[in-house]
Every structure is written in structure tokens, then in C-alpha cells.
């Protein structure tokens, strides 16, 4: 099992690098169309949001399939969200604004879609910084879990960031919003259902007050 | 001695107008359309050769043809920049006519074939600045809009003109999805519409307008954000009141009636101080009235351009 998980992780790692390879190569080869910098910046933002939704899909996937091992992929997915968010932000600061700090500051203060993008990024930082096993131990499972619930408001803010950027036709952001609503709604629903179930029906697990976070064993 | 009268010329001997027009077009082409000749082997599209080069042309290198025709806002065909080029091939541009009505002595309906012959075709290389913060330089073909507007006699009460874009719902996915309140309406003050820079545009890069650029006839108002330059026009209406325009109706705080390019007045959601010229990496500063302040600034003398954005 350990070996299969390691293989799955390696495959997933390479898959997660495909978008950055596509956009990086596209920028280099000038195949991103008439406005390559915009395509690059938006493409990386798209993937940060997609990976965020995929990360949020891991727990429901475990629950629906009973495959507990998928939880071991969650941290890598979350870190890739941070990776793409960093690239997206860098593209904006560098290629879009060329480090014109007064203009950037003005954007953050005056433009709601930039403000929300920045808030989402700032909320991501502590999550990425506390992703290691050592940090989980230092914080303690319960506090770590409370901190990482930040991902829920963060995801909503990220969808808002996308919605407010669009000039007309919010179909695309609406699709992301619906998927997020589904992923968060499932969690609410399960919380409600679990609270009503007697402990004996919870699949043999002793019912704990707080859910268990799997900590990866070091090899 | 009787003088023999020459025989009357039979109608069958008269050169048909279409042949004459074709010959004229050919002569124009031969006479010196460098742009059209240079491009003639690139596209199979119908050629439209300029007879005149305009003194209003910008002295800047035009944006490559593939960007001019591949990166468009024509929301009837979709909201992505590539959508118009990919999805507009079904637009029916023949038969086509433009109705000019409203506050006029006698409304007229002009067929596109007749509009093409109203005046010599000029090439005008204009900067185009989109409200979204990008810009391009396009070698448009056409003649002053005033030539078209003068085909009718407006009443004294007429102060504005409204432009209506065609809707062909069966070939326009954006129209079917009601992304905006169709048909697309735009408008100009009469003096803006009559200004020599304002163009009734029929082509670009030496050929007739591609569908995605607003075939077969569109407006070009180079000192205003691109959305003011209506595409695929079917109706021009003289009015007394400022016409309700599509973008302004959608979001009045973001899109005003005037929409003059103005680096000092931001769009609520982004700065307008700079723009990305397609093909360039660094953004360049945006110029007041898109660089046409000398020609059009006096139209707005005494107006508060922050209020009348």
C-alpha cells in the first residue's frame, strides 16, 4: 500500500506541474495569443482556484468512497494551490504592474477584485506555513484544524475575486461557485447527519468530539 | 446633305455598374494600395482597396493582422476574446441594409452595395483603446461617417444619433444566452458623429471587414473606448435625447455615455492610467482622448469630464 501511495503521489505531483509547464512554455514560445501576459496571469489564477476545489474535494471523496488513503494526497494538493497562487500573484505584481508599488497599493485599496484576491492570498500563507508534520505537532491537532478551517472562507473569497473581475457573463465564476457550494454543503450535511446518529452506527470508529486529522508517518 | 444621326446606344451596350465598380476597384488597387498588395497572398478574403491615405493616420506600426482579427470583443458571439473569431463565420452580411431614421425629413434605407460607393475609401490607421486596458493600432478602411449621415436631412431638433447592431440569434450564442440587453445600442452626440475623425468603417488591412470585427459596416470613434464603436450596424436613428446605450444600461457607474479615453478617470474596477499595447510587454501611459486631444478636445470645452465620463 505504501508503495502505491508513493506512486500515486509522484503521478499527482507531475500532473500538478502540467499547467505551469503549459503556460511557461506558452509565454516563452509566444503561443498564448494576442495578450500573452493576461493569458498567463489568468491561466495560473484559474489553476490555483481549480486546485483549491480539488483539495476541498478530497475529504468528501474519502467519505463517499471509503478510501482513506486519498487523505494522504491532500497536503500536496493544498501546497500546489499555494504554488499557483504565488505564481498568479507574482505575474500580477511583475508582468502586469512591473512593481509599481503606488499603483499596486491603489489597486488593493480601490479595486474590490484585487482586494479580495489579496485577502485570499494572505489567508493562504499561514496554511502553507503550517503544513509540515512538525507544525501540526507544534500547534496540536485541534488548533491546527481550527486554523486550517480558514480554507472555507478563503475559497469563497477566491470565487468572489474571480466573479468581480469579470465584465459580463459570470457563467464561469458561477460554475466554480456552484462547485464550492456543493463541496461545502456536503460537509454541512454530513455534520448534521452525524450529529443525529448514535455512536454505534459510525462505522466502528469510536466517536470523538473532534474529527481525526491523519498525520503522515515519517519514513 | 443629310447629317446622319448616330444610332442610339442600346442598353445592352452600357457597361453594367457592377463591372464598372469592379474596374474602378481594380484600378484603385493597381494605383497604389501598398498594404493591399503586400497582403494579397495572405488572405482569400474580399479585397477593399483604399483610394486615399488619410492625414489623420497615426504614425505607429499596426498591430499584426492575426491579433486584430483574433482578439475581439463582440459579445454577441461570446465573452472570451477568441470567441468572435471562432464563432462568427455564420453571420449573414448579405443582403444588408442600413436604415437611417428618427428625427429626419425622410427616412432612408441604404443597401450596403450603395454605401460602399458613397465616397472614396480611405485608409485610416487609428489607435484603438479598450476600456479593459489593452490597445492596438488598426489600419481601418472607410469614409467619414458624416458622408453617411448626410444621406438624410435631420430635423432641427435632432441632437444625438443612436446606432443599432444586428441580432441574428441563431448564429449568435451570446444573444441566445442574454448576456447583455440585445440588440446592442450605442450613441453619439451629433457633433461627435459628424467629426471628421469618426469613421463609417467598411474594412481593415486592405480587405472588407471580417465578421468578428463587425462586418459589413461599423463605427470607429478613435478617441473613445472601443465599446462605443458599434459593430455590424443596421440602424442609425436621429434623436433629441441621449440614446440609452447597452453598457451604460448594464452598469451606469462603470460605463458612461461619453466614454472618452481618459487616463485621469478610472473605471471603478481598474485604473485607466496605462494600457497594454498588444505585442508589447511594458504597459504604456494612456493619452487623453487616446492621443486625439488636439482634434477633439474642443468638443468638450467647459465640460466636467469626471462627471461626464
Residue B4 resides in a domain: no
Q: How far away is chain A from the Cα of B18, in angstroms, using its nearest Cα?
A: 38
Label residue B303 exposed, middle or buried (CB < 10 Å: 0-12, 13-18, 19+). exposed
Highest mean pLDDT among A26-35, B33-42, B198-207: B198-207
Strand partners of residue B164 = B185, B235
* A22: containing domain: 2-201
**Mutual angle of helices A74-90 and A36-65, in 10-degree steps:** 160
Closest-CA residue in chain A for B173?
A169
In chain B, residues with a C-beta closer than 8 Å to the C-beta of A168 are 75, 79, 179-180, 250
What residue in B sits closest to A104 (Cα-Cα)? B271
Q: What strand order describes the sheet that includes B97-102?
A: B108-111, B97-102, B233-239, B160-165, B185-189
CB B155 within 8 A of CB B215: no
- List, as own/partner pairs, every contact residues B176-183 make where C-beta atoms lie below 8 angstroms and the sequence separation is at least 24, other chains included: B177/A169, B177/A171, B179/A168, B179/A169, B179/B75, B179/B79, B180/A168, B180/B75, B180/B246, B180/B247, B180/B250, B181/B246, B181/B249, B181/B250, B182/B76, B182/B246
Task: Quote the pLDDT of residue A2.
Answer: 86
Residues B28-44: what's their mean pLDDT? 45
Contact B79 A168 (CB under 8 A): yes
Of B80 and B17, the one with more pLDDT:
B80
- Per the model's pLDDT, the better-predicted residue between B130 and B25 turns out to be B130
What CATH code is carried by the domain that includes residue B182?
A: 3.90.420.10
Domain annotation covers residue A134 = yes
Domain membership flag for residue A88: yes
Give the minimum alpha-carbon distance from B279 to chain A in angstroms, rounded to a whole number: 7
- Residue among B301, B281, B279, B280 at smallest CA distance from B289: B301
Quote the pLDDT of residue B282.
87
Confirm whether B6 is domain-assigned.
no
Strand extents, DSSP E, chain B: 52-53, 97-102, 108-111, 122-129, 134-144, 160-165, 185-189, 199-204, 207-208, 218-220, 233-239, 274-277, 284-285
Tell me the shortest Cα–Cα distance from B240 to chain A, in angstroms.
30
Per-residue pLDDT for A206 more than 80? Answer: no
Residue B113 inside a domain? The answer is: yes
**How many domains in chain A?**
1
Structural domain count of chain B: 1
What value does the mean pLDDT of chain A take? 91
Nearest neighbour of B179 by CB, restricted to A106, A164, A169: A169
- The answer to whether A199 and A206 are in contact (CB under 8 A) is yes
Q: Which residue of B has its CA nearest to A170?
A: B179
Do the domain assignments include residue B239? Answer: yes
Q: Is residue A186 exposed (0-12), middle (13-18) or buried (19+ Cβ within 10 Å)?
A: middle
From the CA atom positions of chain B, what is the Rg in Å? 21
Chain B interface with A: residues with Cβ < 8 Å: 66-67, 70-71, 75, 79, 81-82, 132, 134, 174, 177, 179-180, 250, 266, 268-271, 273, 276, 278-279, 281-283
Give the model's pLDDT for residue A11.
Answer: 97
Give the Cα-Cα-Cα angle B118, B136, B203 (nearest 5 degrees): 20
Alpha-carbon separation of residue B305 from A106, B249, B263, B299 (angstroms) = 21, 19, 11, 11
Nearest to B143 by CA among B118, B177, B111: B118
**Do B276 and A167 make contact, defined as CB atoms within 8 angstroms?**
no
Across the interface, whether the CB atoms of A35 and B81 are under 8 A apart is answered: yes
Res B224 pLDDT > 90: yes
Distance (Å) from the alpha carbon of B62 to chain A's nearest alpha carbon:
13
Q: To which H or E segment does residue B193 belong?
A: helix B190-193
3-state secondary structure at position B196: coil
Across the interface, whether the CB atoms of A106 and B174 are under 8 A apart is answered no
pLDDT, tens only, A59-86: 999 999 999 999 999 999 999 999 999 9
3-state DSSP assignment of residue A114:
helix
Res A214 pLDDT > 80 = no
Q: Shortest Cα distance from A123 to chain B (angstroms)?
A: 22
- Which domain covers residue B188, as residue numbers? 13-300
Q: Residue B26: its pLDDT value, please?
A: 46
Q: What's the CA gap between B240 and B102, in Å, rounded?
A: 9
Residues A13-24 have pLDDT tens digits of: 999 999 999 999
- What confidence category does residue B116 fall into, taking pLDDT thresholds of 50, 70 and 90? very high
Q: What distance in Å separates the CA atoms of residue A144 and residue A127, rounded to the nearest whole number?
A: 9
Assigned domain for A211 exists = no
Interchain contact, A103 vs B180, CB within 8 Å? no
Which of A26, A34, A103 has the highest number of chain B CBs within 10 A, making it the mutation to test binding with B? A34
Report whether pLDDT(B28) > 90.
no
Looking only at the bridges linking them, the beta strands covering B284-285 and B199-204 are unpaired
Stated pTM of the model: 0.82
Look at A33 and B81 and tell me if their CB atoms are within 8 Å.
yes
Q: How many CB pairs under 8 A join A and B?
A: 51
Does residue A126 fall inside a structural domain?
yes
CB count within 10 Å of CB B26 equals 12
Examine residue A98 and state whether it is found in any structural domain, yes or no: yes
- Mean pLDDT, to the nearest integer, of B119-139? 97
Closest C-alpha among A125, A148, A124 to residue A136 = A148
Nearest CA in chain B to A94: B282
In a domain, B129, yes or no: yes
Measured CA to CA, the distance from residue B38 to residue A43 in angstroms comes to 36
Contact B50, B35 (CB under 8 A): yes
The answer to whether position A218 is within a domain reads no
Q: What is the pLDDT of residue B281?
A: 86
Report residue B178's pLDDT band, with 50, 70 and 90 as the boundaries. Answer: confident
Q: What is the pLDDT of residue B3?
A: 61
User: Is the pLDDT at A93 greater than 50, yes or no?
Assistant: yes
Nearest to A103 among B66, B79, B271 (CB): B271
Asked whether residue B208 is assigned to any structural domain, the reply reads yes
Backbone angles phi, psi at A20, to 5 degrees: -65, -35
Q: Higher pLDDT residue, B41 or B113?
A: B113
Each residue's pLDDT tens digit, B267-302 = 988 889 999 999 998 899 999 999 999 999 999 999
Out of A66-70, B94-98, B124-128, B260-264, least confident range: A66-70
Tell me the average pLDDT across A183-196.
Answer: 93
Strand partners, B142: B122, B201
Most A CBs within 10 A among B78, B247, B259, B269, hence the mutation to make, goes to B269
Closest alpha carbon to B277 in B115, B166, B134: B134
B144 min Cα distance to partner chain A (Å): 29
pLDDT band for position A7 (cuts 50, 70, 90): very high
Per residue in B156-183, is it b (16+ CB within 10 Å) or e — as a string?
eebebbbbbbbbeeebbebbeeebbebb
State the pLDDT at residue A134. Answer: 95
Instruction: Write out the three cell numbers for A116.
Output: 479580495
The residue-averaged pLDDT of B229-247 equals 97
* Residues of chain A with a CB closer than 8 angstroms to some CB in chain B: 33-35, 37-38, 95-96, 98, 103, 106-107, 110-113, 164-169, 171
Q: Which cell numbers hold the place of B29? A: 488597387
Average pLDDT along chain B: 89
Buried-exposed string A3-35: b where 16+ CB fall within 10 A, e elsewhere? eeeeeeeeeeeeebeebbeebeebbeeeebbbb
User: Is pLDDT at A114 greater than 50 in this prediction?
Assistant: yes
Q: What is the DSSP letter of B222?
A: T
Q: Is residue A207 part of a domain?
A: no
**Domain contains A216:** no
Does the distance separating the beta carbons of B174 and A103 come in below 8 Å?
Answer: no
User: Is B2 within the bounds of a domain?
Assistant: no
Is residue A133 a contact partner of residue A218, using CB atoms and an 8 Å limit? Answer: yes
List the one residue out of B3, B49, B4 whose CA is nearest residue B30: B49
Neighbours of A69 (CB within 10 A): 13
pLDDT tens-digit readout, A143-180 = 999 999 999 999 999 999 999 999 888 899 999 999 99
Q: What's residue B55's pLDDT?
A: 84
* Residue B100, pLDDT above cutoff 50: yes
CB–CB contact B270 A111 (8 Å): yes
Q: Contact, B129 vs B58, CB < 8 A? A: no
The answer to whether residue B175 sits within a structural domain is yes
Amino acid at each position: 500500500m505504501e508503495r502505491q501511495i508513493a506512486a500515486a503521489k509522484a503521478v499527482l505531483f507531475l500532473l500538478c506541474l502540467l499547467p505551469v509547464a503549459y503556460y511557461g512554455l506558452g509565454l516563452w514560445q509566444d503561443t498564448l495569443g494576442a495578450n500573452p501576459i493576461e493569458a498567463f496571469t489568468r491561466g495560473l489564477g484559474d489553476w490555483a482556484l481549480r486546485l483549491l476545489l480539488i483539495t476541498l474535494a478530497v475529504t468528501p471523496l474519502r467519505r463517499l468512497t471509503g478510501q482513506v488513503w486519498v487523505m494522504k494526497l491532500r497536503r500536496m494538493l493544498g501546497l500546489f494551490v499555494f504554488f499557483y497562487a504565488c505564481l498568479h500573484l507574482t505575474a500580477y505584481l511583475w508582468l502586469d504592474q512591473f512593481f509599481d508599488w503606488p499603483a499596486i497599493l491603489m489597486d488593493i485599496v480601490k479595486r474590490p477584485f484585487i482586494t479580495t484576491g489579496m485577502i485570499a492570498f494572505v489567508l493562504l500563507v499561514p496554511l502553507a506555513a503550517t503544513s509540515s508534520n512538525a507544525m501540526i505537532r507544534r500547534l496540536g491537532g485541534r488548533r491546527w484544524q481550527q486554523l486550517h478551517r480558514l480554507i472555507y472562507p478563503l475559497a469563497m473569497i477566491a470565487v468572489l475575486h474571480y466573479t468581480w473581475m469579470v465584465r459580463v457573463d459570470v457563467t464561469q465564476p458561477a460554475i466554480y461557485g456552484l462547485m464550492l457550494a456543493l463541496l461545502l454543503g456536503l460537509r454541512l450535511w454530513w455534520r448534521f447527519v452525524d450529529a443525529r446518529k448514535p455512536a454505534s452506527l459510525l462505522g466502528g470508529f469510536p466517536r470523538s468530539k473532534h474529527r481525526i486529522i491523519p498525520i503522515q508517518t515519517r519514513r | 446633305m443629310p447629317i446622319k444621326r448616330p444610332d442610339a446606344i442600346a442598353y445592352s451596350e452600357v457597361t453594367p455598374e457592377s463591372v464598372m465598380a469592379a474596374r474602378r476597384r481594380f484600378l484603385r488597387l493597381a494605383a497604389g494600395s501598398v498594404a493591399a498588395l503586400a497582403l494579397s497572398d495572405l488572405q482569400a478574403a474580399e479585397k477593399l482597396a483604399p483610394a486615399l491615405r488619410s492625414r489623420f493616420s497615426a504614425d505607429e506600426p499596426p498591430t499584426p493582422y492575426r491579433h486584430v482579427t483574433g482578439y475581439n470583443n463582440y459579445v454577441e458571439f461570446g465573452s472570451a476574446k477568441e470567441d468572435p473569431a471562432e464563432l462568427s463565420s455564420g453571420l449573414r452580411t448579405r443582403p444588408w441594409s442600413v436604415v437611417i431614421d428618427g428625427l429626419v425629413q425622410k427616412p432612408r434605407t441604404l443597401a450596403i452595395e450603395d454605401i460602399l460607393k458613397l465616397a472614396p475609401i480611405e485608409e485610416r490607421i487609428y489607435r484603438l483603446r479598450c476600456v479593459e486596458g489593452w490597445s492596438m493600432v488598426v489600419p481601418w478602411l472607410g469614409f467619414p461617417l458624416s458622408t453617411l449621415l448626410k444621406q438624410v436631412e435631420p430635423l432641427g431638433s435632432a441632437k444625438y444619433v443612436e446606432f443599432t447592431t444586428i441580432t441574428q440569434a441563431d448564429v449568435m450564442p451570446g444573444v441566445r444566452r442574454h448576456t447583455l440587453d440585445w440588440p446592442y445600442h450605442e450613441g453619439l452626440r451629433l457633433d461627435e458623429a459628424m467629426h471628421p475623425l469618426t469613421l463609417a468603417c467598411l474594412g481593415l488591412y486592405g480587405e472588407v471587414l471580417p465578421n468578428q470585427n463587425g462586418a459589413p459596416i461599423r463605427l470607429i470613434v478613435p478617441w473613445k473606448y472601443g465599446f462605443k464603436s458599434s459593430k455590424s450596424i443596421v440602424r442609425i436613428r436621429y434623436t433629441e435625447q441621449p440614446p440609452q446605450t447597452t453598457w451604460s444600461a448594464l452598469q451606469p457607474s462603470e460605463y458612461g455615455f461619453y466614454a472618452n479615453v481618459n487616463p485621469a478617470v478610472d473605471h471603478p474596477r481598474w485604473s485607466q492610467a496605462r494600457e497594454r499595447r498588444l505585442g508589447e510587454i511594458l504597459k504604456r501611459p494612456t493619452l487623453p482622448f487616446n492621443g486625439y486631444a488636439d482634434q477633439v478636445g474642443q468638443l468638450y470645452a467647459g465640460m466636467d469630464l469626471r462627471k461626464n465620463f
